[in-house]
Amino acid sequence: MQRRNFIKNAVAGATSVAALSTAISTEAASMTVGKPFKLNFAPHDGTFKNHGGADFTDQIKWMNDQGFKAIEDNGMLGRSVADQEKIGKLLASLGMTMGVFVVDGGENWKTSLTTGKKEFIDNFVETCKTCVETAKRVNAKWMTVVPGFYDRKLPHDIQTANVIEALRRGAEIFEPHGLIMVLEPLSDTPELFLRGSDQSFMICKAVKSPACKILYDIYHMQRNDGDLINTIERCWDEIAYFQIGDNPGRNEPTTGEINYKNIFKFVYDKGFRGVWGMEHGNSKKGKEGELAVIAAYRESESF
């Protein structure tokens, strides 16, 4: 009986501690409402839909009220011109920065730029031209590029040369406008050609343009490279943009194994003042989960 009562009391105590922890996190988030974040964190459409509502512009207003100074929107290229202009005007009125959107010509998730085939290069070039007009409407500077899948019929170095040539064509379009395509190495599948930060670094050096840099997604690089701070240091000159997601789970910082407080401090002390894209899900559902995301970011930037 004594053991049973002990276990019962222990469970009750643990439940109380969990509830208290949630309450503290929620209270911490509410106490800093409106205070600008130290770092330029950029939520995306849906991150705070339970508080901001279904409409993205309403979410942006709510994000701004919480202290966020940027957004990103992978699918911006697919939005109507009217919606792009509406978002651009809203961001300008709020003094917020537009983060990345994806240079998506429909070839990102298939074998494409690695082949060197004219049809893929032409599609990429035309998509880059469209991106310039979209960037003007939303005052964007960075656009994500994924070269596509491996071509198993070609040697690796030939594929690398094909990708470099394609990216040089893109750089010719973006550079006169002061725009930057950021190459994103990914961990979603081994079939993707671009997977490592060192590989991305080499390609950027070969393209030789300020319009071609690295998007260092910490979630993907933890899975593919590890040794994050040293890797960031080695690739520093070619990194123009960061994205966030803890691992495992790809949710907000503090939910996985990555020490984001140390990473944020390292990058901040190096002088980076650019955008940190919040490309992850929420570990908890509903409004409680959204407040937990804010609390996690407040904690992680408290260095």
**Distance from the Cα of residue 253 to its chain's centroid:** 13
**Could you tell me the pTM of the whole model?**
0.89
Domains of the chain: 34-300 (3.20.20.150)
Question: What is the model's pLDDT at position 179?
Answer: 98
- Judging by beta carbons within 10 Å of its beta carbon (0-12, 13-18, 19+), is residue 238 exposed, middle or buried? buried
Helices then strands, each counted (H, E), the chain: 11, 9
Question: What is the model's pLDDT at position 6?
Answer: 40
Question: What is the model's pLDDT at position 187?
Answer: 98
User: CA 256, CA 245: separation in Å to the nearest integer?
Assistant: 9
**pLDDT beneath 70: ranges in the chain:** 1-32
Please report which residue ranges of the chain form alpha helices under DSSP H.
2-31, 49-52, 56-66, 81-94, 118-138, 156-174, 197-207, 218-224, 228-235, 260-269, 286-300
Question: What is the model's pLDDT at position 20?
Answer: 44
Residue type, 58: D
User: CA 68, CA 61: separation in Å to the nearest integer?
Assistant: 10
